[in-house]
Amino acid sequence: MENSLNLAAVTFDGVLALVLLVLAWQLLRSPNLFKAIVLFISFGLMLSLAWVRLKAVDIALAEAAIGAGLTGALFLTALDRLQRNNQKAGDSLISQPGKVIAGISVLALTCILGWTVWTLPPFSNQMLALVSSNMPISGVENPVTAVLLNFRGYDTLLEIGVLLLAAVGVLAVTPSAVMVADSAPSPILILLLRLLLPFIILVSGYILWIGKYAPGGAFQAGAVLAAGGILLATAAVRFNLSASKALPLATGIGLLIFLLVALATMMLRGNYLQYPVAQAGTLILVIEAAATLSIAAVLVLLFVGLKSDADCPVPGEDSKNFIFEEENTIK
């Protein structure tokens, strides 16, 4: 019986690893950008399964939400914008000797990385023991959330700052991004909105709340909320980036709250971001809630900025729909 159990697990993991490799290879070598994007989305989904098999559920959540879903949506709109401007994919700009040098450097890097992983010291429980022994003072029960938001809260603060910078960058490039919805959007799409949006908000709140006890947290919840925002943006609501007041506020509020908490702890306790033990849980929840809003706002802003000056109209009978044309062979 022991052999049969291991066989199933080994085969599953083996097939998964093989699929990941094939997907990665195919997606890197495909000159058809749309095919590469679809392969990338599938790759993200399979990678999320791999994280699950490695028992890293928080990362699997983040990979599924952000890596597969949202990044795929962003790529699709970027590709669309690229094609609208009729930009060519271009031939390879690297000369032949350049390619050889690149290949050799990549090979060398792979060897170095492989050797490093191979000679890593055997699995030590030190970090695990350290985190577990400090869990009671962290205010939460999920070790990942404790590390992210309490023990290494400084890193998370900087990460949220980086997200804000990305949003500022997009705003700098497309300051007057407007995303116009249909005057008469398809009723089926409105139905989808009506059914899914409340559910998405509920799921986002649930993931945020459960981050305290089980895998979850601010980043994943923010990604789900951003998905809801993207759904709104493609279907019904007119997003005007320059005139909107709510969106910049939402974008900034995560970092703001985090900084306020940091300053407060510094003034009251003398140490930056050292939460008082009794209020640690509440503080973490407040920070995470603000961060969720912030992350969602930034991701929606990225999406709308990419889509700017382009409607998403329902095509008429005479418009050439890219997706349904048989792809041309090489001219």
Partner 1 sequence: MSLTDLFGSFLLLLAIPFFWGGSLGLLRFPDIYTRLHALTKADNLGLGLVVAGSILISKEWTVGVKLILIWLAVLTASTISCYLIANAARKRKINPWKIP
Partner 2 sequence: MNYYLWPALFILISVVVGLVRILRGPTAADRMMAAQLFGTGGVAILLILAQAMQMPSLVDVALIYALLAAITMVVFVRCQWRSHENTGEMEDESH
Each residue 298-317 as x (binds partner 1 by CB under 8 A) or -, in order, gives -----------------xxx
Give me the phi and psi of 178, to 5 degrees please. -130, 135
Q: Is 16 in the site for partner 1 (CB under 8 A)?
A: no
Nearest to 77 by CA among 320, 315, 309: 309
List residues bridging with 179 in a β-sheet.
239
CA distance 154 to 148: 9
Nearer to partner 1, 73 or 261 (CB): 73
Each residue 74-113 as x (binds partner 2 by CB under 8 A) or -, in order, gives --xx-xx-xxx-x-xx------------------------
Q: Is 118 in the site for partner 1 (CB under 8 A)?
A: no
> Which among partner 2, partner 1, none contacts residue 317 (Cβ within 5 to 8 A by kind)?
partner 1
Q: Which pair of structure tokens corresponds to residue 17?
A: 């690893």
Q: Do the beta carbons of residue 154 and residue 261 sit within 8 Å? A: no
Closest approach, Cβ 323 to partner 1, in A, equals 8
Each residue 228-257 as x (binds partner 2 by CB under 8 A) or -, in order, gives --xx--xx----------------------
Q: Is 148 in the site for partner 2 (CB under 8 A)?
A: no
Q: Is 45 in the site for partner 1 (CB under 8 A)?
A: no
- Out of 3, 323, 327, 328, the only residue in the binding site for partner 1 (CB under 8 A) is 323
Q: Do the beta carbons of residue 75 and residue 81 sit within 8 Å? A: no
CA distance 313 to 323: 15
Q: Do the beta carbons of residue 240 and residue 171 sit within 8 Å? A: no
> Which among partner 2, partner 1, none contacts residue 78 (Cβ within 5 to 8 A by kind)?
none
> Which among partner 1, partner 2, none contacts residue 166 (Cβ within 5 to 8 A by kind)?
none
Helix and strand totals (H; E) in the chain: 12, 2
Closest approach, Cβ 139 to partner 2, in A, equals 20
Q: What is the DSSP string of 202-267?
A: HHHHHHHHHTTTSS--HHHHHHHHHHHHHHHHHHTPPEETTT-SHHHHHHHHHHHHHHHHHHHHHH
Closest approach, Cβ 118 to partner 2, in A, equals 27
Q: Is 329 in the site for partner 2 (CB under 8 A)?
A: yes
Q: Is 192 in the site for partner 1 (CB under 8 A)?
A: yes
Q: With CB under 8 A, what is the number of residues at the site for partner 2?
A: 89
Residue whose entry in the numeric block shows the structure tokens 């990604």: 223
Closest approach, Cβ 150 to partner 2, in A, equals 20
Q: Is 195 in the site for partner 1 (CB under 8 A)?
A: yes
Q: With H, G, I as helix, E, B as strand and everything else as coil, classify residue 239.
A: strand
The region of 113-121, 145-153, 191-199, 292-300 touching partner 2 under the rule CB under 8 A is 191-199
Give CB contacts under 8 A, 24+ apart, made by 200-203. 200/224, 200/225, 200/227, 200/228, 200/231, 201/225, 201/228
Residues within the interface to partner 1 (CB under 8 A): 186, 188-189, 191-192, 195-196, 199, 315-317, 321, 323-324
